[in-house]
Chains A and B, each alone.
Chain A
């Protein structure tokens, strides 16, 4: 069974600090990796996607991928109170039910981030 593990938190950081979120996954054939932000009562919104080993930067966000260690992380620089949300790590891999050539996302339980003003 595919698993995506995240520390549930809560993770509290002061405003302006760097928030570091981590994720590990079990399926070595996973191809694509995503970080979503979810505010309470809302659906997830895509923050970053990463496909190859190394770092990928987009504004205040940096995603890091290490396929050998099956590890994905998200760094948020200059954290703002508006960044307070649950961050979901999602891993794309072959579907377990929909047949050959089909893919699905498996989500972690999410890490709740609180940025303290």
Chain B
């Protein structure tokens, strides 16, 4: 149980275009979704926290106009990387708190390459 499905698994896009990443909670309702970014050989860095029906809160240094987060329903949160640049190339992962207990479940991640 407590599965988060993330799509796409990988995407290559041209510089200046936008890319949307989706995370769906399949068997539970995720009122809060966390979005992380991981550069090679680095740890997961929290980018933002999205709450269903309200605006996301962004960590310091993360551009809210560049990384658009929408959490329109209890089962779907999306991250749109707008006007992507090569330095945005990274591994993006979503996460939600599991409904029972205190743990967190992660999506499978999206490898974004901007060329």
Binding site for B on A (CB under 8 A): 32, 34, 41-46, 49, 51, 88, 92, 95-99, 102, 104-110
Contact = CB atoms under 8 A, between A and B. Distances in A.
A104 B32 CA distance: 11
Contacts of B95: 105
A43 B93 contact: yes
Given A88-B44, A97-B57, A98-B49, A49 B107 contact: no
Interface string B71-94: 000000000000000000001010
Contacts of B104: 34, 46, 105
Nearest to A106: B46
A67 to B, nearest CB: 16
A110 B105 CA distance: 18
A96, A99, A105, A108 interface centre (most CB from chain B within 10 Å): A105
B103 interface: yes
Contacts of A97: 49, 57-60
A96 B61 CA distance: 13
The size class of the interface chain B forms with chain A is 20 to 34
Given A95-B49, A105-B95, 14 more contacts: A41-B109, A41-B111, A43-B107, A43-B109, A49-B103, A88-B44, A96-B59, A97-B59, A97-B60, A98-B49, A98-B51, A102-B49, A106-B46, A107-B43
A44 B106 contact: yes
Interface of B: 6, 32, 34, 42-46, 49, 51, 57-60, 91, 93, 95, 101-109, 111
A88 B111 CA distance: 19
A15 B109 CA distance: 30
B103 A99 contact: no
A42 B109 contact: yes
Given A34-B103, A49-B103, A51-B102, A104 B60 contact: no
